[in-house]
Structure 1
């Protein structure tokens, strides 16, 4: 891949590159890298084909800098139908985030018909023109379907695709692709006509299946804020339909990037 990866591996450590700098300070990593790396390491160490990573919750409580990163994992529950794994993102010896992943054993669907929302009628990414510039200096690729940051109203819908490795030389799995992209639920749902004024402190992803294509679709379904505490919600898609949902909590925050 020609684009610089977000991390390079050195022994058991992950070395961040400047490709992953986020929007809040000039030397801190984007939250998507905390979520993506924790999800990817849980999957790499504990997943088997019989199990679906159905829920990933990541708490983010410190902006990590470019220090080497260690991911420490722990099995909480190793059952036949349900497995629960915790993981911690340690940057420069300090904890910056933690994750809990619930893996559920695949079986068959329950009998009967259950209501589900209609699929959106969005055009395919290949049928849409690329943007003149990729967001965040080329951190990902995007196709805007409806709405935009700072534009009041609904719907807000977008396609997103990765353009660089999370870890150098390790191709994205479908689950890691969703985990890395899911941080976008906060800026997409919580941005307003004065820009993005909320920094998310967590992300939760719910999946009933993984994407079968490289593009992940976001459809904003909710936003609310009181006393500087916000929530945001999006339904998630691939090019075949709904795959799940993502939600976040966030705090009012001023940018410090010069």
Structure 2
């Protein structure tokens, strides 16, 4: 990818680039790069082809600045059918987030049929023109193809998303990392309304029954609720072959800081 990556490598640390800035504070990281790097390090250090990363939960309890980042991991359980890995996101020597990933042994599905939602019938990304209004994703942080609804509207929202840059310089995006680095999008997509986005998410959880095939991931808002400034949001996730899982989040009422 020709675009600037979100992180470069300096020894054991990851150095954020300007592309990693978030929307809430001009001197802080975007939640997507926190979740993405935690997921990427878990997969890089502990993943294997015979295990499926079925759940990734990321807690984001401090808004990190642009200091160099270190990610540490710990094996909680390494069984024959289940692995559980913890990881910590340390920015400038201060813990800013953590993740737990559950990896399950791949095997064969049992016989029989189980209810599932109707197929997601939408246009393919190649059949949808790119946005012409400059809203392709925070000035080029990602690429989108809008299917239905948009930010600033209250109706059902669906879109395709694709990454346009590496998470870490020199490391190709794996299917799992594509999901991990995009999953934070569930919060603004589900929690934005006719006044824009006024919730900042404190976590994100991804459930996957398979990894995506191809570069495009579909997001469909299926739930939002908010009381006393605390919100939840949920999206179903798809690739061009069909459903792959879901992304859920909790969020707090928040206002943006002005950019200088």
Instruction: Give the TM-score, by structure 2 length.
Output: 0.98
- Contact kept? 1:23, 1:257, Cα under 8 Å: no
Which residue of structure 2 lines up, in the alignment, with residue 151 of structure 1?
153
Q: Any stretches of 5+ residues in structure 2 without a counterpart?
A: none
Which residue of structure 2 lines up, in the alignment, with residue 140 of structure 1?
142
- Contact kept? 1:36, 1:166, Cα under 8 Å: yes
Give the SS at the match of 1:118: coil
Which residue of structure 2 lines up, in the alignment, with residue 53 of structure 1?
53
C-alpha separation in 2, matches of 1:111 and 1:2: 46
Which residue of structure 1 lines up, in the alignment, with residue 225 of structure 2?
224
Which residue of structure 2 lines up, in the alignment, with residue 162 of structure 1?
163
Alpha-carbon shift at residue 245 of structure 1 (Å) = 0.5
Which residue of structure 2 lines up, in the alignment, with residue 129 of structure 1?
129
Whether 1:173 and 2:174 are equivalent positions in the alignment is: yes
Which residue of structure 1 lines up, in the alignment, with residue 255 of structure 2?
254
C-alpha separation in 2, matches of 1:250 and 1:24: 13
Q: Deviations over 1:93-133 (max 9, x none)?
A: 00110000000000111221001112211111011101122
Whether 1:115 and 2:132 are equivalent positions in the alignment is: no
C-alpha separation in 1, matches of 2:196 and 2:145: 19
Instruction: Give the TM-score, by structure 1 length.
Output: 0.98
Alpha-carbon shift at residue 257 of structure 1 (Å) = 3.0
C-alpha separation in 2, matches of 1:26 and 1:152: 28
Alpha-carbon shift at residue 17 of structure 1 (Å) = 0.3
Give the SS at the match of 1:167: coil
- Contact kept? 1:201, 1:251, Cα under 8 Å: yes
C-alpha separation in 2, matches of 1:122 and 1:180: 23
Count of aligned pairs:
257
Q: Any stretches of 5+ residues in structure 1 without a counterpart?
A: none
Give the SS at the match of 1:26: coil
Which residue of structure 2 lines up, in the alignment, with residue 210 of structure 1?
211
Give the SS at the match of 2:138: helix
Give the SS at the match of 1:250: strand
Give the SS at the match of 1:136: coil
Once the two structures are superposed, the pairs formed by residues 35-114 of structure 1 within 5 Å of their partners are: 35-114=35-114
C-alpha separation in 2, matches of 1:153 and 1:24: 25
Which residue of structure 2 lines up, in the alignment, with residue 6 of structure 1?
6
Give the SS at the match of 1:135: coil
| Runs of at least 4 residues off by over 4 Å | none
